[in-house]
Copies of this chain bind each other. A is one copy, B any other.
């Protein structure tokens, strides 16, 4: 348990006019309701398969990928991939649309950004 220089977490004016969206964890204590709303989102990305799915979709050209591309990247059955995609969809992290034979998925950037902001030790400051 090594001690280190204290973080010096600053309140940085949580002026982000977003309301209940983005005050970082370190700014003010999360209330229970917020925590219970946020936890499922983190749970959705707290799986190696889903993390890779998100990444594959995000990196795919055009910002979207079809399920067949995704399935090929794993040693898992189709239904399993479909299940993970559903979890991501229900969490609002991705959206999808059927176009002809194939179903295309793309990232919902706002949701990822929200999670990122929550974890940011502080908003500005950057070195």
Residues of A within 8 A of B (CB): 1-4, 6-10, 25-32, 35-36, 38-40, 42-43, 45-49, 51-52, 54-56, 58-59, 62-64, 73, 95-97, 106-109, 112-113, 115-121, 126-127
Return the 9 tightest CB-CB contacts between A and B, nearest first: A26-B58, A116-B119, A42-B46, A35-B48, A43-B46, A30-B55, A46-B46, A7-B126, A39-B48
Cβ-defined contact, A59 with B26, below 8 A:
yes
Cβ-defined contact, B106 with A112, below 8 A:
no
Cβ-defined contact, B113 with A25, below 8 A:
no
Instruction: Across the interface, name the chain B residue whose C-beta is closest to A54.
Output: B25
Cβ-defined contact, A52 with B29, below 8 A:
yes
A6 to B8, CA, bound (A): 23
Instruction: Across the interface, name the chain B residue whose C-beta is closest to A58.
Output: B26
Assuming the contacts A63-B8, A115-B119, asked whether A47 and B54 have C-beta atoms less than 8 A apart, the reply is no
Assuming the contacts A38-B48, A39-B47, asked whether A127 and B10 have C-beta atoms less than 8 A apart, the reply is yes
Given A9-B58, A43-B47; 7 other pairs, CB 8 A cutoff? A7-B58, A7-B106, A29-B56, A30-B55, A43-B46, A113-B120, A116-B121
How far in angstroms is the closest Cβ of chain B from A108?
8
